[in-house]
């Protein structure tokens, strides 16, 4: 363990990792979310802490054990997650956006439970676009190393490269979410890592903690 820490460029670096799918409230008992389990984010937090980093986990998940020494900040919506990350951004060295941020939220969310036979018509739900948290960080970044994930069901490398450029990030971890055994809500993952400076690196299917350890090593080599 000590060898691992002393070899890592992440030692004493401040790393923020987002995890889980955001919850976008319709009313006090209903929300929109997605299949993200948070497992990849939690595995990354554990691996980064093990490498000696000071780790903050901004998470929508309540049912996973928080890795030792990791600060947990719980949020629900994309807007809450954005606020939690942006308020800490100046003090950070690395941000890893492993969260599945909902692209949309209900145009209004009601503070009570909607009754089915009332004027609150839920047969049509109006949505508005959420801000792109990662792209916002890409606009603002100074010294920070930014890592995004790309969940794709087709044209994996092409779309991931577009996200790398458009969001001004340093690394994209591309995830094929069309396969049931990897990615969203499964214990394994298989990813392709893209940066501006190196040719793409394929990490073959493995348990998420192992993939996380390799990703943290790659990030450490880049900072
Ligand atoms: N992301 C974000 N804020 C959003 C949407 C996405 O910060 N509102 C981040 C995710 O956490 C991820 C990266 O952007 O690190 C890519 O997310 P993804 O859903 O794959 O891409 P999008 O840019 O949302 O495009 P699309 O869903 O249309 O493929
Ligand atoms: Ca999206």
Provide ipTM, 2 decimals: 0.99
Ligand 1: residues with CB < 6 A are 78, 97, 99, 101, 103, 130, 132-134, 148-151, 163
pLDDT (tens digit, 9 = 90+) per residue, 27-52? 999 999 999 999 999 999 999 999 99
* Protein residue closest via CA to atom 18 of ligand 1: 150
Contact by Cβ (8 Å): 49, 33? no
Which residue shows structure tokens 């002393």?
6
Position 55 scores a pLDDT of 98
According to the annotation, is 141 in a ligand binding site? no
Q: Which atom number of ligand 1 is nearest to the Cα of residue 151? A: 20
Q: What is the CA(198)–ligand 1 centre distance, in A?
A: 22
Position 214 scores a pLDDT of 97
The dihedral sign for the CA sequence 177, 182, 186, 187: negative
Does 34 qualify as catalytic in the annotation?
yes
Position 179 scores a pLDDT of 80
Position 221 scores a pLDDT of 95
DSSP 66-135: PPTTPEEEE--SHHHHHHHHHTTGGG-SEEEE-SB--SEEES---SSPPPTTSSS--SS--EEEPP-HHH
According to the annotation, is 167 in a ligand binding site? yes
According to the annotation, is 133 in a ligand binding site? yes
Position 4 scores a pLDDT of 57
Position 153 scores a pLDDT of 87
- In the chain, what are the domains? 2-222 (3.40.50.10300)
Q: What residues of the chain score a pLDDT lower than 70?
A: 1-7
Position 217 scores a pLDDT of 97
Would strands 127-129 and 14-19 be described as parallel, antiparallel, or unpaired?
unpaired
Q: Which atom number of ligand 1 is nearest to the Cα of residue 136? A: 7
pLDDT (tens digit, 9 = 90+) per residue, 101-117? 999 999 999 999 999 98
pLDDT more than 70, % of the chain: 97
């Amino acid at each position: 363990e000590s060898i691992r820490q002393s070899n890592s460029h992440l030692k004493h670096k401040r790393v923020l990792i987002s995890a889980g799918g955001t919850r976008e409230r319709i009313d006090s008992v209903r929300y929109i979310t997605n299949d993200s389990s948070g497992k990849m984010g939690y595995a990354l937090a554990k691996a980064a802490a093990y490498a000696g980093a000071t780790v903050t986990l901004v998470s929508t998940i309540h049912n996973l054990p928080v890795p030792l020494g990791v600060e947990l900040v719980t949020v629900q919506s994309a807007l809450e997650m954005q606020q939690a990350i942006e308020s800490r951004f100046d003090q950070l060295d690395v941000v890893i956006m492993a969260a599945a941020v909902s692209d949309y939220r209900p145009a209004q969310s009601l503070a009570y439970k909607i009754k089915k036979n009332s004027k609150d018509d839920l047969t049509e739900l109006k949505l508005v676009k959420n801000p792109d948290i990662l792209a916002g960080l890409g606009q603002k970044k100074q010294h920070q190393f930014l890592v995004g994930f790309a969940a794709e069901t087709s044209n994996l490398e092409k779309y991931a490269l577009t996200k790398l450029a458009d969001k001004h990030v340093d690394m994209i971890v591309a995830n094929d979410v069309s396969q049931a055994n990897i990615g969203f809500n499964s214990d394994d993952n298989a990813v392709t890592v893209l940066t501006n400076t190196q040719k793409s690196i394929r990490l073959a299917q493995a348990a998420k903690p192992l993939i996380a350890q390799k990703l943290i090593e790659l990030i450490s080599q880049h900072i």
